[in-house]
Structure 1
C-alpha cells in the first residue's frame, strides 16, 4: 500500500506543476531539458498551495473599485513597501519592471514575504526569474481619453552565448486628456536588464531604467467654482496664452535607476544575494508666483463671487469667461511689461535633486527541508536637495532675490535677504533663488527571518533593527535666521527603527488554512516632518519620536477546484505620528510653521474575497470589506511665526479623536463576472461600490484658538469641528477582448470601458482648508472656515489596446 501511495504521489506532482500553466500548451524547450533525478517527496508539499499568501482581495479590487481616493485599510501609502530583490524602489519604475519580465508578487498586510521584514500595509515584490519567456517579444499600441491619447510599448528578451541574458523595453505615452483641460502626458520609459551566469553558482545582473516625463496636472477647487462653471472637471491651473492652452502646474522628472545584483552559492545550503542600487535625477513642479500683486489663481477665495459680492464677477463666472475662471496669461505678461523690468508675475519650478543609494546583502540558509533562515544587512543614504528655479519671467527681465512677503512689514522690512551672503541678487531665467537646502537620511540595519514549515504547521519570525540619522544642510543664509540658524548643517536627529513580526498557521487539510500574525514596529518620520521650516530654518521639532505601529491579523483561506476564498480580520494602530505644515494663520495674521505631533490612528475591520469557477468558461469574482478607520488620540499642535520662531500656539490640544481618516472608504464591494469563449473571445463586467468616505480633516481647526474662539455660535463651532462625509461612489466597468493564435505568436485586441454610468458627480477626494474667513456684519467680527477643496472623478472613459506577442 505504501509503495502505491508513493508511486501515485510521484505521478501527481509533475501533473500539478503542469496544471499551473493551462494556457501554455506548447513548450518549445521540453526536449532540451535534462532528465532530473527523482526527488525525495515531502508531505508538506500537499499544504504549500493553501499556505501561499495570495492577496485575493487585492487581485479582484485593483483597478476595479470606483475611481476614488482609496487608502486600503485606512493606512498611509508609505506603509506599503515596494521591493526589487530586497531594495525599496519608487512607483515610477514599476511599468518598466513588468515590461522587462520581472515577476510581481503582492503580499497583503502582515503576510510573510521571503527575506522581507514587512510593514503593516503589505509588500509588493519584484524579481527576475531564471527561466526564459515562451514569447519573448512584445509590441503594443493603446489609445485612451485619460491623461494621454496614444501609447506604445515594445519589449524583447533573448539569450546568447556564455550564459548571457538580455531584456530591453520601451514605453511611450503622449497626448492631452480629452476630459480635463490642461492635463497632458509626454513620457518615455526605457529599461535594460543584463544577466550573466559564470563559474559555479555565480550570477551577476545589471538593471537600468530611465523614465523622463512631462505631465500637466490638475488642481482641486472649491464647490463654488464647480457650481459656477457647471463643470465637475474644472481645472484652475490652466489658461490661454496667445490662443493656446498653457498649464501652470507641470511636473518634469528625469530620475534614472541603476541596480547591480550579485548572487553566489556559498555552500550546498547557503547562498548570498548582494544588491547595490542608485537613484539620481531631478524632479520639478512648476507654479505661479506673484510679487506685491493680486494672486493669479482664478479660484482663490478673493476672486470668487462669495467674497467679492458683486454681480459682475458672478455673471462672468456663470458665463465661463476665461479671464475670470482661468489663468489669464496674456494679462500677466502685459502687467510684467508695464512694470519696468522687474517681474510682477513669474513661473517658477520647485525642484528636487535626488541622489539615493542603497546596499543590501542577504544570506539564505536551508538548514533542512523545513527550516529556512534569511539574514543580512542593509545600508541606505537618501539625499534630496531642494531649491527654487526661475522657469519663465513672462515678459519681464528679472526679479530680485528678496523675501517679498516682508516688504511692507513694519518690524522685519529690513531683513529681506533670502541669501545674506549674496544680497540683492538679480535673478534671470534658469537661476536658483528663494531657498536652497538639502535633507539627508543615513541608515543601516540588520534583519533576520526564520521560516519553518512542517506537514501542516507554518511559522515565520522576522526581526529588523536599524539606526537612522536625519539632518539638514542650508546653502543659503536667510537674513531672518542668520548664521547656523539657516546656513550649514543642522543638528542630527537620530532614531532606532525596528520591526518584530510573528506568524503561525495551521492547514486543517490541503484546502483549509488558518493563520494568525502580529507585528510591532517603529519607523523614522519623513525628513521634511522634522523641521519647522526646512526651506530656510535649521530648527527641529521638540522631542522628535519615531512612529509606533502595532498590528494583528487573522486569515482564513480555502482553495478548491471550484471556489477560492480568503477572509482577513485586521487591526492596526499607529501612535506618535507627526506632520509639518506651512500656512497663513488668519487669526494671528502671520505666516506660520505648524508641527502636529502625537497623531494616533486605528484601523480595524474585515476583508473577504472569493473566486468562483462557475463552469469551464465562466468565472465569478466577489470582494468586500468593512472597517472603521479613525483618529484615536488628540494630537498636540505647536505653531511658530515664520519670521522669528515666536510662539503663536504652543502644545495646543486638537480634538481629533473620533474623526475619520480621509481618502479611505470604510465599506467596499465588488462583483465581477468573466466569460472566456471559444476562438479567443472573452468579456468581463464588474460593479464596484465605495462608501463611508470622508474629507481629510485638519487638526488646526479643532483647537481652542480656532474652534473655541472663532466658533462663537453653535453654527460656526459646528462648521469648524464637523467632518464632512462624501457621497457613496458606484461604478460599472466592462471589457471585451479577442485573441488570434498563430503557431508561436498571439495577437490580442481589447477594449475597456470605465464608469459606464457616466456619473460626473462622484468626488474623488477632498480635504479641509487651513484658512479661516473673517466676516464683518456691522461692527462685529465673525470667523468661519474656508470651503473644503475637492477633486471629482473622471466620467466615462475607455482604453483600447492592440498587442502582439511572438
Structure 2
C-alpha cells in the first residue's frame, strides 16, 4: 500500500517522417521531429471551387493539428477533458498511442476530427477523434532508413520501413523503430525500446480488401517522479529526480517501466451489393506492463524526498546542509544502505524492489454496414463487442540480497487490533516469497460491453445533416485470486457483484455551406459511458466492496463551428460547451487525521467546459506560410461531490459522505488561455526553416476533493489562514516556449535524403512547471498541548531546458 500517488511522465517515440497527434500532449518528454512530413514546399492546386459545396463540409481538426507542436510542453487537458476523450481508431478499433508511430511507418493515413463535428466514427471522443486507414496503392518511395540523435530520453534512434508487392494482389509492409540511451538532463531517465510491425494487405478489384496488422512494442524506460518545491530549491535543480540512487557507485532507478504489449488487428471490407458495403474488424491488445518501485516492510520509507526527511520537518542544520551540498545519501536513494539493512535482518527482507504488474487482454469486434439509400442519404449501422480484462498483481523483482519475504500484510504487524489477521493469501499462509514470485495481491477487473448503432448522413449541395443513435449494455466485475484474511471468503476471493450499465450516445449535426468557402455547423451530444473499473471499487487490490451507487458518467455537449477555405487562408473557429456529470474516483492513502490507511471514494463529480478554439493557416506566398491558433475557456467543477472514506482494514466509516467544496475549482492541467504561432519557409534547393512559439496561461494544479471536506478543511483549518490553505487552489505560472527547426533535402532521381535539426525550448527556461497536483496527506504541527494541521506540499514536475534532435533520413 502506498503513502501517496505519483505522476508519471511516460516516454513514447513517434514518427520522424510523419506529423504527430495529440499524444504529444500526453507525453511531453517524447522526442520527435514534427516537420518531416512538411519538408517539401506544398504545391497549391488551382481549382474551380464554385462547383464543390461539399468539400468544405468535411471535418478537420485545424486547431489540434496546429497546436500539436507549437504549444509549450506543459500539461494540456484540451477542453478540460482527460486524454481518454481524445480517441484514436483503426477501422473502428480503439488503439493506444504507443502504436501510432509504427502505424504511420507502415503507411497508415489519418483523418482528424475535432470535438462533436460530423464524423463517420460512431464512437468517437468528445474532444477529438483520429481515424487511421491504409490507402490503396504502393508508395512512390517504398523504402525508408533514418537515424537520429537526441539529448532527451535517449541518445540514439533508428527507423526502417519497406513496402513490397508479393503478387496475386498481396502487399507487405514491414517497419521497425529502435531507441537507446539515457537522458542528458534528468538523471535516472533512460530508454531502451524496439517496436516492430508488419502490415499484409490483399485487394480484389472493387470486391473486397483484407488488411492484417501486427505491431509488437517492447521497452524498458527509467522514469522521473514529481516532488515538492522544497526539494527543488534545496538541490538547486528543477529536474531533480528522487527515483534514483547509487548502488556500488552506479546509478540505479527504482521506477522503471517494462512493457511488451503486442497489437494484432484484421480488417475485412467487401462490397455486398451495389449500394451496401461491409466492414468487419477485430483487434486484440495483449501483454504485460510492469512498473517497479521500492517496498519497505515495518521500516522507514527509503524515498529521499519524504517530508519527514526534509529540513522543514527535521528542523536541524545538518540535514539542510546535506541537501544544499547535494549529498546523495540524503537526496537520493541509498541502495547500499538498504542492502546493509537487509543483511542485518537475518534473512527476511526489510527492503525490496517490487513490480506492479498489469496483464491485459483488450479485444474488440466491430461490424459496420454502409448503405447508399439514395443519392443524398447514407446509412451506417452495425454493432461492436468489447472485452477489457486486466489482471493485476505484485511480483518480486529484487530482494536486495535478502533471502525471502513472508507474504503478510506488513502494515498490520504492529497493529494491536488486527495484528493477528496478517495473511495476504489465506489459502497459502506464511508463504516465502522469492524473486519472480507473486505476492500481496492478485485480482482481475473485467469490463464487457455490447453496442448497436444507426447513423444517417444526409447531404445536399449546401446542407449536411447527421443523426446518430447508439445503445448498449455493459457489465463490470472484479475477481479476487487471493483470499485476504482481513476480508475472508467472498469479501476478497472470487467474483464480486456485477455492476451493470446502459451506455448510450445520441448525436445530431447540421451544417450549411453559404458558399463553397464558408460553412457553419451545429452539433449536439447526449451520452453515457461505462466508468473505469478501477473507480468502482474502494480497494480493488484485495476487497470486493463496490461503490454503493455506481452510475454511468453522463456527457452533454454543444458545438458551433465556422469554417473558411480560401486561396490564401484556411480558418476554423469553434464555440463549445460540455457538461460531464456523475463522475467517480477512488484512491488509497494514509489518513493523517485518523492515523489509519483509508480507501477514498469521490462520487457525483461534475465538470463544465465553455470556450472557443480558433486556428488559421495563412499562405503568405509560395514559400512562406504562417499558422496561428488560440483558445480561451472556462473549465470548472460545478458541483460539490460526495466524499466517503472507509478504514482499509475493516471498512468502518471514517467519513460517511460529506460534501467537498470543489464547486468553482479549475480543472488541473487545462490552461484557460492558449496561443501559438508557427512561421515556415520553404526555400530553393531543399532548404527549409520552421520557427514556432507557444503560450499557456491561467493554469492550476490538480485539486483534491478530500482536502475540501468539513473533516479536513473544517476541523483542520481552525484559523482563517489554515482554512484557506486547505481550500485554495494554487495557480501555476504562465508558460512560454520558442522552438526552431532547420532542414535540407537532397534529391537523387527517385530518392531523397533529408538532414534536420530541431531545437526545443530555445529560451532555456528551467523554471517552467509542467504540472502539479495537491497532496492527500496532512501535516500535524504540535505547539505545546495544541495540534495544528496544514496540507502537505504540492508536488511538481518541470519542463526540461533547451534540447535538440538531429535526424538523417533517406527515402528511396
| TM superposition score category, shorter chain reference | over 0.9
Task: State the match for 2:418 in structure 1.
Answer: 412
Query: Aligned to 1:531, which of 519, 525, 537?
Result: 537
The one of 408, 419, 440 equivalent to 1:434 is 440
Is 2:102 the partner of 1:96? yes
Shift of the 315–21 alpha-carbon distance from structure 1 to 2, 3 Å rule, reads closer
Matched, 1:132 2:138: yes
Residue 182 in 1 paired to residue 188 in 2?
Answer: yes
DSSP 3-state at the match of 2:603? strand
Q: CA deviation at 1:43?
A: 10
Residues 522 and 560, structure 2, Cα contact 8 Å, conserved in 1: yes
Structure 2 residue 389 is matched with structure 1 residue 383: yes
- Determine the C-alpha separation between the residues in 2 that align with 1:132 and 1:370: 32
Name the CA shift for 1:682/1:22 in 2 (closer, same or farther; >3 Å). closer
Structure 2 residue runs of 5 or longer lacking an equivalent are 1-37
The answer on 1:585 being equivalent to 2:596 is no
The residue matched to 1:736 in structure 2 has which SS? strand
Which secondary structure does the structure 1 equivalent of 2:153 belong to? Answer: coil
1:177 shift after superposition: 0.4
How many residues align? The count is 772
Q: Does residue 551 of structure 1 match 2:531?
A: no
Equivalent in the alignment of 1:60:
66
Partner of 2:671, secondary structure, is coil
What does the per-residue CA deviation read over 1:453-485, in whole Å, with 9 as the maximum and x for residues that have no partner?
101001111121111100000000000000000
* Secondary structure of the corresponding residue to residue 191 of structure 2: strand
| Matching residue of 2:167 | 161
Q: 1:93-147 deviations in whole A, cap 9, x for unaligned? A: 1111011000111111112222433231121111111122111111111111111
Counterpart in the other structure of 1:634: 640
> Is residue 729 from structure 1 mapped to residue 755 from structure 2 by the alignment?
no
Question: 1:734-774 CA distances to partner (integer Å, 9 max, x unpaired)?
Answer: 11111111211111111111110000000000000000000
In the superposition, the TM-score normalised over structure 2's length comes to 0.94
Is the alpha carbon distance of 1:723 and 1:43 closer, same or farther for their aligned partners in structure 2, counting shifts above 3 Å? closer
Q: Cα distance 1:47–1:92, how it changes in 2: closer, same or farther (>3 A)?
A: same
> Shift of residue 71 of structure 1?
0.6
Q: Tell me the residue number matched to 1:624.
A: 630
Aligned-pair CA distance for 1:202: 2.4
- The equivalent residue for 2:431 is 425
Instruction: State the Cα distance separating 1:206 from its structure 2 match.
Output: 1.0
Give the TM-score of the pair, scaled to structure 1.
Answer: 0.94
Alpha-carbon distance change, 21 to 161 in structure 1, aligned in 2, over 3 angstroms: farther
Matched, 1:361 2:367: yes
Q: Is the 8 A contact 1:117 1:447 kept in 2?
A: no
Residue deviations 1:708-753 (CA, integer Å, cap 9, x gap): 0000011111000000000000001111111111211111111111
User: C-alpha offsets along residues 230-283 of structure 1, whole Å, 9 cap, x if unaligned?
Assistant: 000000000011111100000000010111111111001101011111111010
Asked if residue 291 in structure 1 is aligned to residue 297 in structure 2, the reply is yes
More deviation, 73-82/684-693: 73-82
1:777 to partner: Cα distance: 1.1
Q: Which residue does the alignment assign to 1:797?
A: 803
Q: How does 1:50-129 map to 2 (within 5 A)?
A: 50-129=56-135
Q: Distance in 2 between matches of 1:684 and 1:692?
A: 27
Check whether the contact 2:40–2:682 (CA below 8 A) recurs between aligned residues.
Answer: no
Partner of 1:11: none
Partner of 2:740, secondary structure, is: strand
Q: 1:561 aligns with which of 553, 556, 567?
A: 567
For the 8 Å contact 1:545–1:576, the answer to whether it is kept is: yes
After the TM superposition, which residues 438-457 of structure 1 pair with which residues of structure 2 at under 5 Å, given as runs? 438-457=444-463
- Per the alignment, residue 396 of structure 1 pairs with 402
| Structure 1 SS opposite 2:339 | helix
1:141-540 paired onto structure 2 within 5 Å: 141-198=147-204, 201-540=207-546
Matches of 1:460 and 1:523 in 2, distance apart? 21
Alignment pair present for 1:609 and 2:611: no
Residues 615 and 627 in structure 2, CA contact (< 8 A), matched pair in contact too: yes
What is the distance in 1 between the residues matched to 2:123 and 2:409?
Answer: 46
Pairing of 1:753-764 with structure 2 (within 5 A): 753-764=759-770
The alpha-carbon deviation at position 199 of structure 1 amounts to: 7.6
Counterpart CA distance in 1 for 2:756 and 2:54 is 35
> Deviation above 2 Å: which 4+ runs of structure 1?
20-25, 42-45, 115-119, 197-200
**Which segment is superposed worse, 660-669 or 191-200?**
191-200
536-545 or 46-55, larger mean C-alpha shift: 46-55
Is 1:699 aligned with 2:705? yes
1:604, CA displacement in angstroms?
0.5
String of CA shifts for 1:373-413, please: whole Å, max 9, x gaps. Answer: 11101111110000000000001010000001101101000
Contact 2:647–2:654, Cα closer than 8 Å, also in 1: yes
Whether the 8 Å CA contact 2:767–2:798 is kept in 1: the answer is: yes
What are the superposed Cα offsets for residues 17-64 of structure 1, whole Å, 9 maximum, x if unpaired? xxx999799xxxxxxxxxxxxxxxx99960222112111111111021
Greater displacement, 742-751 / 629-638: 742-751
